Chains A and B, each alone.
Chain A
Amino acid sequence: MKLVIAMLMDGVIYASWLFVIAAGLTLIYGVMRILNMAHGSFYAIGAYGGASLVGFYLAGGYPPWGAYFMLLGAALIGGTIVGLLIERGLLRMMYGRDEVVMILVTYAILLILEDVIKLIWGVDAYFAYQPYTLLGRTKLAGLSFANYDILLIFVSALICFVLWWGLNRTRKGKLLQAVIHDRDTAAFLGINVTRMFTVTFVIGAVLGALAGALTAPGISVMPGIGVEVIILAFAVVVIGGLGSVGGALLGALIVGLARSAAVHLYPDAELFVIYGVMGLVLAFRPQGLFAIATARKI
């Protein structure tokens, strides 16, 4: 029983973390058809921004619970500024190019932002562990879990719900879906596709930065963290189907639970299992679990 609870909890917590990272990535791809390599940099900027803001805030002697708002603020400010700069300053000049070209462009942005991060924050590690320890822990079947990690499950569920509601139950969301289905027709119908792209890219960037900011309290924030997560995020969105928020959720759950089971039952397969699952899914459904297969225009 203890083992089953451990596997389930670890799997769901890991999946929540993966989903927050992958949600922005898949949203941007779904709307803009850009496989955004720079998403890892948004994550890193959120983490560095969160750690810095929490550090400044707590050094000022303010109430510790306010540190959570600092994390959210860092994600919102960092994601919006960087997202706007990249979309308005560079990507808008590239729209309509081949998807492979866009991968190369965003990879270049990732490399540039890695150096920008180094210029701003240096190479020393940053810590913001107070929000992680402040909430205490909960015992389940004799195992302790950090309440911060449990909170992450709810945050992830909330993000999933807001994205679903926003896309399916609001006018703007329905306009966005029209752009997703056929951007040319949507433009003919009077939808401002360019603005939709900007808004989507900024939301995706904020989600990436939020994932970093929420992760910062439990890790040592250091150079290279963005590059590490982007590969995992790609595995998740590929399993679920590129461009599908529901697919990202399912992909994150599959990867999280599979990895957790491997760590507990056969640790040597911990890394293999993530990419093993991805290979298996792609072998039977190359478009991913949730994406609909479409004919390719030649």
Chain B
Amino acid sequence: MFIPFAKKSALVGLLVASAVAQPVLAADEYKLGLVTFLSGGAAGPFGVPAQNAANLLLETLNEGALPAPYNAKGINGRTIKPIYVDEAGGATKQSSEYRNLVERQGVDAVVGYISSGDCLAVPAVAEELKTLTVLFDCGTPRVFEDNSFKYVFRTGPTTTMDSVAASYYIKDIFPNLKAVSGINQNYSFGHESWADFYGSLKGLQADIDVPTKQFPKIYAGQYGAEISALMVNSADVIHSSFWGGDMEAFLLQGAARGLFEDQTALLTTGESAMYRLSDQIPEGTILGGRGPFGIYAPDNALNRWFRDAYSKRFGTQPTYPAYKMVQGILGLKLATEQAAAKVSGQPTTEDVVSAFEYLEYEGPGGKVSMNMGKGHQASMEMVYGRYALKDGKPAVTDVRRYAAECVNPSDNMPANEWIEKGMPGAKCN
């Protein structure tokens, strides 16, 4: 077929132009990469509540309808456009996905990561690509203990405070405590949680006995033998950092066999199941929420808005991953807007990094202080309580709050060393 020269030239020109053209970004658009589990076992309990919370928050932020000081539209006036990535697939895949978000999608920042493995892998790529990254949920303290990052922040507290506060709590509730058993998942989170819990408890009571400690495979689902082992080797308290389906299966199977009638369960992530299994959790079970989240969140304007809007939209109360996602995005917004206030036009990534370091702000879970990890790691107070049914509705009693300075190490000391030395410098009430 004959094509006239002029038409041919125009066609070639168009093709060349489209090949070399960079994607045109709307100047008033803030592209935000959001990474949570959207498939696999962690999606239901963590990933999807976090995504729901992000959707709700971003819509409200873009309308400028959030309570002060977050009532400015979007992030520094720019409409936030979320780009979601499924966290499933492991650390290697997430490193590639991160590159894709930055280099091909052109995101301004990334908020994400529930798995500690991903949180240990992704920061190196973030540093290489000089992209602001907020880790919102993962718990391992090693992220900032083993490394020093410029562009990476974590707005959620570490697992250390879950475990240390748990040891304080059971000492407060059971003054005659003699023995503690443990059942934790056989991977880094489970082992770290038990080591921190037992280490800090040993510091508070040297003669504590451990009749048995179990580490079943993650997602095992069947805990019959472990429950028998816990029954044969009876203790006062059973510590567990099980989460999601594993925790729920352990609760169902243990309750059906009467495991919790003679021994009290201490579930460091139990708050996330208190509405789903309200008639199966034995009263008196000690529940943690990985921070002052969910039912432990303070009565502030932000929390009232969040609980009300979330339960209206999704028909259930928000659990801690939802809170932590909101906390991460709000930290990013505030740091960006504080940086913008000091410069003309939009702040650079370096400006936002400077504003984010040692930032203190209010989230729906209360005060967040970025005072660890050289200003890149948050610390918060930690709360525990005991499950109870009040007028047939799930509630908590015996609630005790532990200040951030009580349950977190000072900035220059790794958590395991701090616990090993008997938690020096802890400022408890």
Contact = CB atoms under 8 A, between A and B. Distances in A.
A263 B226 contact: yes
Contacts, number: 128
Contacts of B16: none
B221 interface: yes
Given A123-B47, A124-B44, A222-B245, A6 B215 contact: no
B253 interface: yes
A6 B252 contact: no
Interface stretch (A61-69, A73-81, A97-105, A126-134): A126-134
B179 to A, nearest CB: 16
B224 A13 contact: yes
Contact of A220 (B220, B228, B249): B249
B231 A144 contact: yes
Interface string A201-224: 000000000000001011110111
B217 A129 contact: no
Nearest to A271: B217
A149 B224 contact: yes
A132 B217 contact: no
How big is the A interface, by class? 35 or more
Contacts of A123: 38-39, 43-44, 47-48
Nearest to A265: B229
Interface string B217-253: 1011110111011011000000000001110110011
Contacts of B246: 220
Interface string A250-271: 0000000001100110011011
B244 A220 contact: yes
A218 B186 contact: no
Given A148-B256, A267-B215, A268-B215, A10 B221 contact: no
Contacts of B394: none
Contacts of A260: 225
Contacts of B224: 10, 13-14, 149
A7 B228 CA distance: 8
A39 B228 CA distance: 30
Interface in A246-298: 259-260, 263-264, 267-268, 270-271
Interface residues of B, number: 42
A6 B232 contact: yes
Contacts of A13: 224
Given A3-B232, A132-B256, A14 B225 contact: yes
Contact of A127 (B40, B256, B258, B277): B277
Contacts of A158: none
A224 B252 CA distance: 19
A222 B276 CA distance: 13
Interface in B172-219: 186, 212-217, 219
Which residue, B47, B216, B245, B256, has most C-beta atoms of chain A within 10 A?
B256
Nearest to A3: B232
A223 B41 contact: yes
Interface string B254-277: 011111000000000000000011
Given A118-B39, A123-B39, A137-B256, A267 B229 contact: yes
B4 to A, nearest CB: 50
A80 B215 CA distance: 37
Contacts of A171: none
B82 interface: no
B280 interface: yes
B223 to A, nearest CB: 9
A259 B249 contact: no
A143 B245 contact: no
Interface string B42-67: 01110110000000000000000000
Interface of B: 38-41, 43-45, 47-48, 186, 212-217, 219-222, 224-226, 228-229, 231-232, 244-246, 248-249, 252-253, 255-259, 276-277, 280
Given A146-B257, A222-B245, 11 more contacts: A6-B225, A9-B228, A13-B224, A137-B257, A137-B258, A219-B245, A219-B252, A222-B244, A224-B219, A260-B225, A264-B232
